[in-house]
């Protein structure tokens, strides 16, 4: 089988592609063919495509610049569809599959005729810093209305998907003794040595095929091809128990031997071959004792005019397309190099019959390449060809112009030091500039780190193998025989050349953000000496490629422009991720309904079947109200539930309250220190309301705690604070009073609880527990009885949150549903009415009970009218600080009740309280704020609220005004009164 | 980051909740210390926040529920040891490997409640 569509730049032989498996794909809806093993970039190049996209700022036509993850230019969208569309993929990293759909980015109209190209023509108006300066004409309004929309449309990369990502992502913990980052020859050799020494070794390589440059450089190892030798190494590593993960990018190094890695599992498979419900990507959280950075090096370019034209690329990229993919990027290629490395690709291209010219920036080089015309002491000055390179001008020792269809540039190599700096930066240990190699090398590595291969600055395969042996030796690796390297590629440090003389505006450094040589000069002129400031002023290195091919040229030019050494300028800070990571990979399965776990009461199913509408309360799903036939809205249901409870009998689920079981000889003493009030005198069989402060004196939480035995208490907390109270108790016990003999455990999930409230609640309780005396004498207010229900422990508490005669009953969670249903059946004779959180809220606001709305971390005991609950005879958490002077400030806001004057006006939660309706309604006149609102109180026949205001005592019975600035700013007239609207003498609960 | 819980061993930091620096013990019970006096101010508010090794409270909330005191370098994040909070303020507390000595608990409590 052969491909039927033309691939004019594909050679008849060579490369690691499977020529028996042609693949059909589209780019901008045109159909092309490539082979299995191709990248999108190699297949398009083979098909003669030069133009891949448009640049970010100037919309200049751009081609492909590299053959790897460093690619700045050839960014494409994959797939179509609002959810599937995935922008900014590097064409060099996209693996070809049958049916792949790709699209160019950042143009309006056809790619060849981008209407935004005018940006390029007026680019003399858009130098670095232009945005910061120009658009302040007209002020902020002009920016929002005029400049920003235009710039947003003009400057950009791909379009984001508009619907939720449909893919699955997994997170996985991965462990190894030693992590090897990079599966080139150096990484694999180090890994084999360590695996043979018995270490658990994991090799991660970001490419689809491990091997690095050995796959295309043409060198032979012990007589084998690079690809064959790589296969041999991988097989040996796996035989020794090691693992090799291709398509896995280690993107970040974190503290304590933690590494982030992204494994791409799906994106290379034809869609039919992707198994449903399997992960598109896996985020590995790798834990490793040691790491070997074998991350390689990234070639850099040289600044000259037109060095961004389609057809200009890195020399190593031209070599890789030839060696790995059998693609000859030009029939008449020109190499422009500052070092020996350019000769290898020149010779390899000449060997295919191409007409090759090499421009060597060095006058004193004596190297030759077979079949290659070499001009020495010469540099490229300008590349021509808007849609595809056709000519290059050169200057220096001689000047002239060459007809050419590909210009391969090598300005030297930058070791990929990114990962070596992620944590070392914090040790003030930055990459070090080596003036001989003209490269930044890794910072000083710690004991658990080693580096191997060209990241160490090693030039050439022989040196890389030596560095691998050294890295292996550092970690106790086994000795290996070093392979003979035949046909070794010539290498050298480059001549120092960051930009050619005369390079300016159209001499690009950062191809993705369109930052030029001139921009760096401007930054220096403007006084930006710090490389971090230059970066932000020019945006050099701030695009999705993070300047992998441009940063070092930029900082070297800044050094020259400010008269400093390169080492004095230094690099910008390297931070994770090394290459972009989709947010979905970090989220994994923790999204949408699986974002957090849900907690369900044992009677959730019952409530759902009986018309409950639920609300999320923390992780809990709590019934908000129960809709009955004919009810128009939530308020109608909640008011009916409130009335039924006040008049007859209500039942509500209180299973979500925090419950803590406290035992031990010092349990009472411990409670004495936790709560503001005293606990030692509480008799067995009694409950008490308790208030907890934070150590800084502010109210923390409240609840009732019951004494079940001398050394056994049962505490309840609010639903919201249950976890925080538990952690707080653990903290004070362990950090302050570890000698107290007390133990406690959360039993929230072990008990289900219901409250019976209303005049008939005693009758209902008596019917549920006929053998018990629950009369006012047998079970007085705050009485507690531990008994059984059908053989299960049941705890009865006479406590009230609603202000009615009320009881709470707790039974083990697994029988709670049955108990609830029995209570419903028994209570039917009194028309028992289940009520939800909304009715509960109305009931407790009418009673003036505080909850989270009031206890918001800013109130003192006195502010909420609980100042009397302080025992002066003992110390407790927060006691000292509750005497802080701020709490006695007469201007302090205190709780008060508000009643709407008009029957049909609703007080707004969060509204601000004023004492005049004339305004201004701002901080100068504000008295306080509303914390809780009952949209309708049956008791008052209108809306009521709890609020905090200054001089609260002075405003009783006075008219006040509530204004919500975030609502409709309507002025609601209210009357202030005691917050205890209902039964202020507590006759209902105690009777 | 990994944190060496004295009870559970080396565990990932996601299992822990930090609270802040452990620079002073809680003032003794029953003391007559004023809220604006040095003992309470030291305990609640005053933190040196040095760019160096620090003692920090962590709660092993998703583990054994112990409160521990971790010895950590705030620049490098290097963790060199941990002690149970229950032992940390005791005069005869066990040594934490590789850590500097904490402030003397005895000296801190002496200023309060005498
Ligand atoms: Zn633990």
pLDDT tens digits for A751-805?
999 999 999 999 999 999 999 999 999 999 999 999 999 999 999 999 999 999 9
Confidence band of B106 (pLDDT split at 50, 70, 90): very low
C-alpha of A337 from chain center: 41
B107: β partners: none
Q: Is residue A459 part of a domain?
A: yes
Range of the domain at B33: 2-112
Coil, helix or strand for A912? strand
Of A162, A192, A208, the domain-final residue? A162
CATH code of residue B10 = 3.30.2270.10
pLDDT higher than threshold 60 for residue A346? yes
Q: Match 């540039």 to its residue by tokens.
A: A409
Please write the tens of the pLDDT for every residue from A95-117. Answer: 999 999 999 987 777 777 776 77
* CB neighbours of residue A668 within 10 Å: 20
Calculate mean pLDDT across residues A191-206.
Answer: 98
CATH code of residue A154 = 3.10.20.440
- Residue A151 sits in the same domain as residue A190: no
Contact B44 A426 (CB under 8 A): no
Q: Distance between CA A364 and CA A497 in Å, rounded?
A: 15
Q: Is residue A400 part of a domain?
A: no
- What's the pTM value of the predicted model, to 2 decimals? 0.88
- Residue A135 sits in the same domain as residue A57: yes
Range of the domain at A78: 1-162
Please write the tens of the pLDDT for every residue from A519-531. Answer: 999 999 999 989 9
How many Cα atoms are found within 13 Å in the side-chain-facing hemisphere of A416? 24
Contact A727 B61 (CB under 8 A): yes
Which residue, among A772, A757, A773, has the nearest Cα to A832 in the 3D structure?
A757
Q: Average pLDDT of chain A? A: 93
pLDDT higher than threshold 90 for residue B95? no
Q: Distance between CA A523 and CA A150 in Å, rounded?
A: 25
Q: Is residue A559 part of a domain?
A: no
To the nearest 10°, report the CA torsion of A634, A636, A638, A641: -140
In degrees rounded to 5, what are phi and psi of residue A58?
Answer: -95, -5
Across the interface, which of B1, B33, B87 has its CB nearest the CB of A254? B1
- Residue A184 sits in the same domain as residue A270: yes
Calculate mean pLDDT across residues A32-60.
Answer: 93
In degrees rounded to 5, what are phi and psi of residue B85?
Answer: -60, -30
pLDDT higher than threshold 90 for residue A1? no
State the count of interchain CB pairs (< 8 A) between A and B. 85
Q: State whether residue B47 sits within 8 Å of chain A by CB.
A: no
Q: Dig out the tokens for A207 from the structure.
A: 């490419």
Report the largest interatomic distance among the alpha carbons of chain B, rounded to a whole angstrom. Answer: 42
- Residue A35 sits in the same domain as residue A148: yes
Contact B86 A734 (CB under 8 A): yes
Report how far apart, in Å, the C-alpha atoms of A753 and of each of A303, A603, A818, A841 are. 74, 10, 12, 18
Total structural domains in chain B? 1
Letter string b/e over residues A848-880, b meaning 16 or more CB atoms within 10 A of that residue's CB: bbbbebbbeeebbbbbbbbeebbeeebbbbbbb
Q: How far is B11 from chain A (nearest CA, A)?
A: 10
Contact B61 A883 (CB under 8 A): no
Total structural domains in chain A? 3
pLDDT higher than threshold 80 for residue B53? yes
Q: What is the pLDDT of residue B103?
A: 39
Q: Distance between CA A581 and CA A765 in Å, rounded?
A: 59
Planar angle of CA A729, A735, A736, nearest 5 degrees: 85
B2: β partners: B12
Q: Dig out the tokens for A874 from the structure.
A: 């003992």
Q: What is the pLDDT of residue A148?
A: 60
- Residue A179 sits in the same domain as residue A149: no
- Residue A189 sits in the same domain as residue A130: no
- Residue A42 sits in the same domain as residue A148: yes
Contacting residues of B for A174, CB less than 8 Å apart: none
User: Which residues of chain A are at the B interface, by a Cβ-Cβ cutoff of 8 Å?
Assistant: 254-258, 285, 287, 423, 426-428, 673, 695-697, 727, 730-732, 734-738, 875, 880-885
Of A162, A188, A204, the domain-final residue? A162
- Residue A33 sits in the same domain as residue A141: yes
Contact A736 B30 (CB under 8 A): no
Confidence band of B99 (pLDDT split at 50, 70, 90): very low
Across the interface, which of A285, A734, A881 has its CB nearest the CB of B44? A881
- Ligand 1 geometric centre to CA of B58 (Å): 10
Determine contact, residues A273/A161, Cβ cutoff 8 Å: no
Across the interface, which of A256, A730, A875 has its CB nearest the CB of B30? A875
- Residue A186 sits in the same domain as residue A63: no
Q: Is residue A622 part of a domain?
A: no
Determine contact, residues A300/A553, Cβ cutoff 8 Å: yes
- Residue A176 sits in the same domain as residue A117: no
- Residue A285 sits in the same domain as residue A428: yes
Contact B1 A734 (CB under 8 A): no
Coil, helix or strand for A700? strand
Please write the tens of the pLDDT for every residue from B4-48. Answer: 999 999 999 999 999 999 999 999 887 777 777 788 988 999 998
Which residue, among A25, A3, A39, has the nearest Cα to A98 in the 3D structure?
A25
Determine contact, residues A732/A674, Cβ cutoff 8 Å: yes
CATH code of residue A916 = 2.40.30.110
Please write the tens of the pLDDT for every residue from A597-622. Answer: 999 999 999 999 999 999 999 899 99
| ipTM score | 0.87
Which residue, among A760, A723, A473, A430, has the nearest Cα to A573 in the 3D structure?
A430
Coil, helix or strand for A823? helix
Q: How far is B96 from chain A (nearest CA, A)?
A: 16
Q: DSSP letters along A26-50, please?
A: EETTEEEEEEET-BHHHHHHHTT--
Of A162, A180, A209, the domain-final residue? A162
Q: What is the pLDDT of residue B114?
A: 32
Q: Match 């052969």 to its residue by tokens.
A: A2
- Residue A117 sits in the same domain as residue A233: no
Residue B36: closest C-alpha in chain A = A884
């Amino acid at each position: 089988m052969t491909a039927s569509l033309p691939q004019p730049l594909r050679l008849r032989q060579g490369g690691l592609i499977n020529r028996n498996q042609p693949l059909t794909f589209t780019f901008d809806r045109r159909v092309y063919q490539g082979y299995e093993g191709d990248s999108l970039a190699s297949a398009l190049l083979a098909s003669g495509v030069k133009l891949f996209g448009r640049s970010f700022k100037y919309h200049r036509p751009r081609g492909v610049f590299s053959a790897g993850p460093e690619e700045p230019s050839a960014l494409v969208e994959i797939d179509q569809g609002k959810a599937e569309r995935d922008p900014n993929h590097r064409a060099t990293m996209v693996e070809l599959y049958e049916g792949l759909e790709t699209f160019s980015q950042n143009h309006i109209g056809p790619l060849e005729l981008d209407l935004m190209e005018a940006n390029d023509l007026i680019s003399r108006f858009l130098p670095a810093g232009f945005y910061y300066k120009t658009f302040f004409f007209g002020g902020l309004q002009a920016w929002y209305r005029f400049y920003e929309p235009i710039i947003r449309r003009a400057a950009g990369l791909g379009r984001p998907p508009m619907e939720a990502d449909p893919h699955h992502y997994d997170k996985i913990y991965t462990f190894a003794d030693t992590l090897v980052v990079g599966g080139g020859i150096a990484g694999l050799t180090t890994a084999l040595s360590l695996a043979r020494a018995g270490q658990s070794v994991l090799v991660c390589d970001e490419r689809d095929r491990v091997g690095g440059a050995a796959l295309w450089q043409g060198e032979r190892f012990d007589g084998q091809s690079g690809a064959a030798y790589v296969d041999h190494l991988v097989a040996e590593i796996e035989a020794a128990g090691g693992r090799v993960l291709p398509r896995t990018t280690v993107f970040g190094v974190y503290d304590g031997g933690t590494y982030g890695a992204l494994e791409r599992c799906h994106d290379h498979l034809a869609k039919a071959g992707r198994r449903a419900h399997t992960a598109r990507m896996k985020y590995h959280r790798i834990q490793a004792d040691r790491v070997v950075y074998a991350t390689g090096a990234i070639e850099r370019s040289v600044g000259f005019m037109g060095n961004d034209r389609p057809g200009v690329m890195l020399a190593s990229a031209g070599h890789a397309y030839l060696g790995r993919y059998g693609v000859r990027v030009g029939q008449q290629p020109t190499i422009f190099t500052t070092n020996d490395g350019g000769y290898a690709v020149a010779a390899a291209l000449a060997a295919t019959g191409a007409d090759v010219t090499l421009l060597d920036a060095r006058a004193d080089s004596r190297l030759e390449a077979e079949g290659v015309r070499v001009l020495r002491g010469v540099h490229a000055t300008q590349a021509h060809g808007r849609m595809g390179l056709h000519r290059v001008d050169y200057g220096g020792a001689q000047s002239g112009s060459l007809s050419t269809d590909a210009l391969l540039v090598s300005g030297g190599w930058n070791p990929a030091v990114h990962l070596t700096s992620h944590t070392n930066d914090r040790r003030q240990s930055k990459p070090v500039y080596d003036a001989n190699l003209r490269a930044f090398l890794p910072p000083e590595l710690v004991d658990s780190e080693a580096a191997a291969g060209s990241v160490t600055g090693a030039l050439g395969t022989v040196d890389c193998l030596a560095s691998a042996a050294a890295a292996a030796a550092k970690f106790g690796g086994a000795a290996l025989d070093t392979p003979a390297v035949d046909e070794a590629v010539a290498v050298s440090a480059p001549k120092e050349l960051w930009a050619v003389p005369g390079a300016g505006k159209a001499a690009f450094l950062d191809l993705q953000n369109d930052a030029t040589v001139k921009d760096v000069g401007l930054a220096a002129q403007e006084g930006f000496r710090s490389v971090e400031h230059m970066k932000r002023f020019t945006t050099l290195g701030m695009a999705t490629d993070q300047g992998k091919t441009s940063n070092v040229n930029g900082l070297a030019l800044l050094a020259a422009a400010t008269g400093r050494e390169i080492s004095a300028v230094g690099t910008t800070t390297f931070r994770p991720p090394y290459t972009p990571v989709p947010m979905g990979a970090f989220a994994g399965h923790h999204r949408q309904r699986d974002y957090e776990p849900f907690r369900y009461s044992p009677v959730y199913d019952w409530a759902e079947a009986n018309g409950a509408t639920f609300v999320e309360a923390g992780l809990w799903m709590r019934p908000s109200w129960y809709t009955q036939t004919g009810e128009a809205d939530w308020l109608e249901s909640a008011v009916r539930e409130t009335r039924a409870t006040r008049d007859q009998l209500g039942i509500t689920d209180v299973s979500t309250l925090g419950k803590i079981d406290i035992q031990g000889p010092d349990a009472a003493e411990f409670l004495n220190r936790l709560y503001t009030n005293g606990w030692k005198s509480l008799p067995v069989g009694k409950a008490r309301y308790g208030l907890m402060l934070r150590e800084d004196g502010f109210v923390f939480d409240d609840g009732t705690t019951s004494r079940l035995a001398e050394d056994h208490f049962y505490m309840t907390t609010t639903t919201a604070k249950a976890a925080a109270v538990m952690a707080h108790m653990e903290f004070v016990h362990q950090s302050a009073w570890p000698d107290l003999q007390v133990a406690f455990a959360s039993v929230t999930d072990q008990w289900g609880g219901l409250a019976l409230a209303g005049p008939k609640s005693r009758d209902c309780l008596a019917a549920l527990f006929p053998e018990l005396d629950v009369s006012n004498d047998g079970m007085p207010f705050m009485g507690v009885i531990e008994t059984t229900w059908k053989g299960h422990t049941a705890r009865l508490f006479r406590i009230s949150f609603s202000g009615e005669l009320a009881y709470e009953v707790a039974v083990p969670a697994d029988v709670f549903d049955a108990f609830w249903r029995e209570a419903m059946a028994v209570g039917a004779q009194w028309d028992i009415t289940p009520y939800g959180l909304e009715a509960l809220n109305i009931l407790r606001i009418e009673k003036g009970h505080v909850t989270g709305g009031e206890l918001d971390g800013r109130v003192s005991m006195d502010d909420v009218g609980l100042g009397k609950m302080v025992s002066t005879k003992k110390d407790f958490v927060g006691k000292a600080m509750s005497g802080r002077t701020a709490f006695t400030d007469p201007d302090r806001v205190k709780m008060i009740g508000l009643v709407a004057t008009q029957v049909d006006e609703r007080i707004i939660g969060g509204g601000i309280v004023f004492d005049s309706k004339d305004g201004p309604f701002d901080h100068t006149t504000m008295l306080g704020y509303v914390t809780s609102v009952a949209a309708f109180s049956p008791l008052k026949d209108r809306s009521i609220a709890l609020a905090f205001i200054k001089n609260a005592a002075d405003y009783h019975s006075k008219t006040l005004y509530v204004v919500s600035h975030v609502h409709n700013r309507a002025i609601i007239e209210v009357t202030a009164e005691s917050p205890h609207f209902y039964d202020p003498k507590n006759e209902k609960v105690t009777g | 980051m990994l944190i060496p819980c004295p009870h559970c061993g080396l565990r990932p930091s996601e299992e822990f909740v930090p609270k802040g620096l452990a620079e002073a013990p809680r003032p003794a019970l029953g003391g007559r210390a004023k809220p604006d006096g040095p003992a309470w101010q030291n305990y609640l508010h005053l933190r040196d926040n040095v760019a160096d090794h620090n003692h920090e409270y962590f709660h092993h909330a998703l583990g054994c529920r112990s409160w521990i005191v971790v010895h950590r370098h705030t620049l490098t994040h290097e963790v060199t040891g941990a002690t149970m909070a229950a032992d940390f303020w005791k005069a005869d507390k066990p040594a934490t490997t590789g850590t500097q000595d904490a402030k003397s608990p005895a000296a801190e409590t002496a200023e309060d409640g005498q």
